[in-house]
A and B are shown apart, each in its own frame.
Chain A
Amino acid sequence: MAETIITINHLEKHFDKLKVLKDINFHIDKGEVITIIGASGSGKSTLLRCINLLEKPDHGEILFHGKNIIEDEIEVNELRTHVGMVFQSFNLFNNKTVLENCMIGQVKVLKRSKAEAKEKALYYLDKVGMKQFANAGSVQLSGGQKQRVAIARALCMEPEVLLFDEPTSALDPEMVGDVLKIMKDLAKEGLTMAIVTHEMQFAKDVSNRVIFMDQGVIAEEGTPEEVFHAPKNERTKAFLTRFHT
């Protein structure tokens, strides 16, 4: 059995009185690609944001290599260098160029030399097909280009797990393919990923495991074949029919 990187036990999160996550339990193993699907408001994004503590859980534990990150056993900024994140809205630094976006974390957080950081940045930019835009301002790019740079920025930190929060939801349809292609390549290379997505075909193609969330709980979990072709839960069936028609 593969090494487990993240284990989540009895996780709960509420915003004021609204319970967004109720007793969530799951784990991410090394080399796994997990997709999290479900209707809007089902708690998928909140779950993902809890994993790198952009949201602070109210109850339960998140173990990173066995250490509970909620209990301050690991410094949050250090955790985030191991658990990267790609956002729906890209969140590239508007005041930086493409290259600077990819270098700043390496220089400021990982304390790499500028030369090393630049070399790494260009390597990963090349990987996402954005090397020729290295000196462009990040505000000048199209949505798809921005997301590719955002992926490169996250990869530069060389994380153990990369979280994707609806990475293609804000893109024009013709841009979606490029980004999904990059993600597929990363999956093939063995990068551990947890992806919140509405791209069902993509989820089917790349994931080892699919988690279906509904109203703050994990309603169904299994291989793509199990979840997409033989769902046990009525709510999973209802959700998937909307995508088949």
Chain B
Amino acid sequence: MKKLTKVLLVCGILFTGFIQLVAAEKKQETFTVGMECNYAPFNWQTNTETESAVAIGSAGYCDGYDVMISQKIADDLDRELVIKKLSWDGLQPALESGEIDAIIAGMTANDERENGIDFTTPYYESEMVMIVRKDSAEEKASSIQDFSGKTVIGQKNTTYDEIIDQIKGVDHATPKATYPEMLLALQNKEVDGITAEMPVAEGVLETNDDLAITTFAKGKGFNVDTSVSIGLKDGTRGTKFFNDVQASLDKISAADRSEMMKLSTKLQPKEGVPTNFFGKVGWIFENNWSLFLYGIQITLLLSIVGTLCGLIIGLILGGVRAVEVDDKDSTLVKGLKRIAHGFVSLYVWIFRGTPMMVQAIFLYSIFRPILHWNALTAGIVIISINTGAYMAEIIRSGIQAVDRGQSEGARSIGMNNTQTMFNIILPQAIKNSFPSIGNQLIVNIKDSSMLNVIGLIELYFQSSSVAGSVMLFTETFFITSIIYLLLTSVATLILNFVEKRLNHVPQNIESEEA
């Protein structure tokens, strides 16, 4: 038991250390800005390096209006700009924990947010419009009340969702997390309109020629603040840092802003977008392949390391479970064995009985203040722990499937329990369990996608970003499906090959000399 904890602890520390070596740590004098990199033309992710783009690790570049503003402020502060890609809901917690210095993500200041964030004055102001299907009745609407009786959707946890209720008798659809998802709902006629800011709507139209923008007459539109502001840590208002940022922002003239937005809209990936489905698929892949490639790397890292570490955990736990309580043992040893058995049962019960997504959110946030781990380290640890619970059961049944005679044979020549376990039982248990162990790898390739909840940029999360920058949902996730299918197919082929080798029986069993 003690040994087990020690081994686990050492493994954990080694791993954390290794990952932190690999992942570059924050240096002095940086200006770290959080944004989604998924909200064109304000911010999006791309593999094209432009004058304004800023690299986000090896996951490509982040580009857009927000990046340009961030760069200007960073220059004025004389600090190095670092862009941190985070989910919308993860922005405020990251600001609070000090992971980022500012939110520059097209966020509108409102009373609710003011509670936890200190906002600067607006750095962009636009118009609230509605994205609708081209040639539909809604296209000709001039008042928001024309959408009475229609289904309207807005982005989750934003004011653009709340304002839908200003339309009397509207069918307020359940909000979605990203624009590409909402666009799909619009194209599939599940909804009739999407609330959006003008620049976002214009960006959407670049790649979706079947959609149109409805603008509203003065006084007939939404009553909403469409200005977006920079969010700084709560309680910093009045500090030198806050004033410096505000001063820098004040230097950017209205003309400069409009110029930057124009440039952003122009930079958005859109040129030469084909019109048919597979044309779009090809175009997306051609322009974003390096983003997919990064996602694939992380997904493979997670699933392979997670499966191997999970196997080690499973072997330890399965082995502990297989240790029998002997009448001959002293009371202390008996007690320790029972505690160890109880621990293993508890472990399997908890980690097999709750979704990995929930485990990820829970463990990541609980241990973050103590371990200061990044998403990748946390992701690997979580997938390993989760896989370990399944592996423990796989190994246990593998051990049970080994014929009793095997251990009797070993005991009959004087081998002790440990020797019997490691030399005779476990090798056969692993061989018996190989198909199930391999299956866990396949499961992990797919289930690692759940780790996007802690902001880990793996294949699924990266795909959402691509979808967000090209504003094409179906086409992007078609590519993603193909990639996942390819990964699992290759993994299956390799596993089948290994399994065949394991079960290989030579034909000529007699030999001249041993």
CB within 8 Å of B: which residues of A?
A: 52, 54, 56, 72, 77-81, 84-85, 87, 89-96, 99, 104-105, 108-110, 118, 122, 125, 131-137, 139-141, 150, 153-154, 157
**Interchain CA distance A94-B405 in the complex, whole Å:** 10
Also in contact, A87 and B416, with CB within 8 A (given A108-B423, A133-B509)? no
Whether B510 lies near A132 (C-beta < 8 A) is yes
| Chain B residues within 8 Å of A105, by CB | 413-415
Cα separation A56 to B327 with both chains bound (whole Å): 11
B511–A87 CB distance below 8 A: no
Contacts A132-B511, A137-B509 hold; do A109 and B414 have CB atoms under 8 A apart? yes
Question: Does any Cβ of A come within 8 Å of B329's Cβ?
Answer: no
Residues of A within 8 A of B121 (CB): none
In the complex, are the beta carbons of B413 and A84 less than 8 A apart? yes
Q: Tell me the complex Cα distance, A48–B173, Å.
A: 77
* Given A81-B414, A140-B505: A122 and B514 interface contact (C-beta under 8 Å): yes
The interface residues of chain B lying within 8 Å CB-to-CB of A99 are: 514
- Check if B408 sits within 8 Å of A54, measured CB to CB: yes
B424 within 8 A of A: yes
CB pairs A–B below 8 angstroms (13 shown): A87-B409, A91-B412, A93-B409, A94-B403, A95-B424, A109-B414, A125-B514, A133-B509, A133-B511, A136-B509, A136-B510, A153-B413, A154-B412
Tally of contact residues, B, Cβ under 8 A: 27
Out of A56, A91, A95, A157, name the residue touching B414 (CB < 8 Å).
A157
A94 to B427, CA, bound (A): 10
Say yes or no: is B492 at the interface (Cβ < 8 Å to chain A). no
B512 CB contact (under 8 Å) in A77, A96, A132, A137: A132
B428 proximal to A (CB < 8 A): yes
| Contact across chains for A140 and B509 when beta carbons are under 8 A apart | yes
User: Complex formed: what's the CA distance from A54 to B410 in Å?
Assistant: 11
Q: How far is the CA of A140 from the CA of B328 in the complex (A)?
A: 38
- What are the 8 closest A-B residue pairs judged by CB atoms, nearest first? A91-B409, A134-B514, A105-B413, A136-B509, A91-B405, A85-B412, A81-B414, A80-B414
Q: Which residues of B contact A133 (CB under 8 A)?
A: 509-511
Instruction: Name the B residues within 8 Å of A122 (CB-CB).
Output: 514
Contact for B415 among A54, A77, A84, A137, CB less than 8 A: A77
Known: A77-B416, A81-B413, A81-B414. A135 touches B424 (CB 8 A): no
Beta-carbon contact of B506 and A137 below 8 Å:
yes
B157 contacts chain A at the CB level, 8 A cutoff: no
Is there an interface contact between B510 and A91, defined as CB atoms closer than 8 Å? no
| Residue on A nearest B409 in the bound complex, by CB | A91
CB pair A52 B505 closer than 8 Å:
no
Using Cβ atoms and an 8 Å threshold, which residues of chain A touch B512? 132
Please name all residues of chain B whose beta carbon is closer than 8 Å to the beta carbon of A150 when the two chains form the complex: 409
Assess whether B423 is in contact with A131, with CB atoms less than 8 Å apart: no
Q: Are A54 and B411 in contact (CB under 8 A)?
A: yes
Contact indicator A77/B506 (Cβ below 8 Å): no
CA distance A136 to B511 in the complex (A): 8
Q: B413–A137 contact, CB under 8 A? A: no
Which interface residue of B406, B414, B514 has the most chain A CB atoms within 10 A? B414
Pick the contact of A109 from B328, B419, B511, B514 — CB < 8 Å?
Answer: B419
Shortest Cβ distance from B410 into A: residue: A93
Give bound CA distance, A186 to B313, whole Å: 48
* Closest Cβ–Cβ distance, residue A168 to chain B (whole Å): 17
Contact B411 A80 (CB under 8 A): yes
Name the residue of chain A whose CB is nearest to the CB of B417: A77
CB closest residue in chain B, given A81: B414
Closest-CB distance, B513 to chain A (whole angstroms): 8
Contacts of B506 in A (CB 8 A): 136-137, 140
Question: Complex formed: what's the CA distance from A139 to B414 in Å?
Answer: 22
Q: Are A84 and B511 in contact (CB under 8 A)?
A: no
Given the contacts A52-B412, A108-B419, A109-B419, A137 and B427 also touching, CB distance less than 8 Å: no
Are A77 and B428 in touch, CB under 8 angstroms? no
- A80→B412 contact, CB < 8 A: yes
Minimal beta-carbon separation of B213 from chain A (angstroms): 69
The smallest C-beta distance from A129 to any residue of chain B, in angstroms, reads: 12
Across the interface, name the chain B residue whose C-beta is closest to A145.
Answer: B509
CB distance from A78 to the nearest CB of B (A): 7
Residue B431 interfacial (CB < 8 Å): yes
Closest residue of chain B to A157 (Cβ to Cβ) is B413
B419 contact set on A, CB distance < 8 A: 108-109
Say whether, besides A95-B428, A134-B511, A108 and B409 are in contact (CB < 8 Å): no
